[in-house]
Amino acid sequence: MTRARAAVFASGTGSNFEAIMNAGELNCDITLLVCDKPGATVIKKAEAFHVSTFVFDAKTYESKAVYEQEIVEKLQAENIEWVFLAGYMRIVGPTFLNAYEGRIINIHPSLLPDFPGKDAIGDAFRAGVKETGVTVHYVDEGIDTGPIIAQEKVLVKEDDTLDTLKNRIHQVEHQLYPRVIRQLTTK
Ligand code: GRF
């Protein structure tokens, strides 16, 4: 049986990319990293795992539709079936969604629908909630709004700082995302 091929999309550090690569037994092969930030740390990580990279700078394209069309062509040429967003800091547009809807997954560091957006951990911390967590969901046209696949709670401790909370949330992400990917890609 041939294994499904998957791409990870990331913009920054790539700790989730690394966790996915180190997880083993995913039932799919991560064969491509797509990154919109030339020079991002995640690119070096992909090279270390011998994963090929497609790095682009959105500013150099006429529109989102144009760069997304190029991405879709790249994914299709490489027979990519699944896309895992892991800190990809761009809203997915219709060009990409129409080609891959139901196959684009995202991880978000809050218990959605609470605290969508860029600074979910900071927003939850400043709101003083007693618990927050991690959500893995399908991507739709909204910001962190697609159907939820899995969630895991993280309790906020009395003596948490933003940094200690961030660390615990990231640890949960690094366990949860590979687990969900394994389940989704099991045929
Ligand atoms: C993670 O917290 C993820 O949930 C969010 O962006 C962050 C990416 O971190 N979407 P990293 O680049 O995987 O370290």
* Nearest residue by C-alpha to atom 8 in ligand 1: 87
40-60 pLDDT, tens digit per residue, is: 999 999 999 999 999 999 999
Q: What is the pLDDT of residue 126?
A: 98
**Cβ neighbours of 142 (radius 10 Å):** 10
How far, in Å, is the centroid of ligand 1 from the Cα of 87? 4
Q: What is the pLDDT of residue 2?
A: 77
Between CA 52 and CA 74 the distance in angstroms is 12
Q: What are phi and psi of 121, to 5 degrees?
A: -70, -45
Name residues contacting ligand 1 (CB within 6 A): 10, 12-16, 86-87, 107-109, 173
pLDDT of residue 98 exceeding 90, the answer is yes
Q: Is 174 a catalytic residue?
A: no
* Nearest residue by C-alpha to atom 6 in ligand 1: 87
22: DSSP letter: H
Whole-number percent of the chain with pLDDT over 90: 95
Between CA 85 and CA 177 the distance in angstroms is 10
Between CA 21 and CA 88 the distance in angstroms is 17
Pairing relation of β-strands 28-35 and 4-10? parallel
pLDDT of residue 97 exceeding 90, the answer is yes
Q: What is the pLDDT of residue 1?
A: 63
Residue 86 tokens read as: 């892991």
Got the DSSP string for 92-151?
--HHHHHHHTTSEEEEESS-TTSS-STTHHHHHHHHT-SEEEEEEEE--SSSS-SPEEEE
Place of tokens 């990809």: 88
Q: What is the pLDDT of residue 25?
A: 80
Residue 179 tokens read as: 């687990």
Mean pLDDT of the chain: 97
Confidence of residue 17 (pLDDT cuts 50, 70, 90): very high
Q: What are the angstrom distances between the C-alpha of 117 and each of 20, 108, 129?
A: 23, 9, 17
Mutate to test the pocket of ligand 1, among 45, 107, 165 (most ligand atoms within 8 A of CB): 107
Residues 17 and 45: beta-carbon distance below 8 Å: yes
Between CA 173 and CA 121 the distance in angstroms is 12
Choice among 50, 108, 137, 174 that is catalytic:
108
Q: Give the range among 12-16, 25-29, 93-97, 113-117 with minimum mean pLDDT.
A: 25-29
- Rounded average pLDDT over 122-129: 98
Residue 64 tokens read as: 């989102």
Half-sphere exposure of 26 (CA within 13 A, CB side): 23
How far, in Å, is the centroid of ligand 1 from the Cα of 14? 7
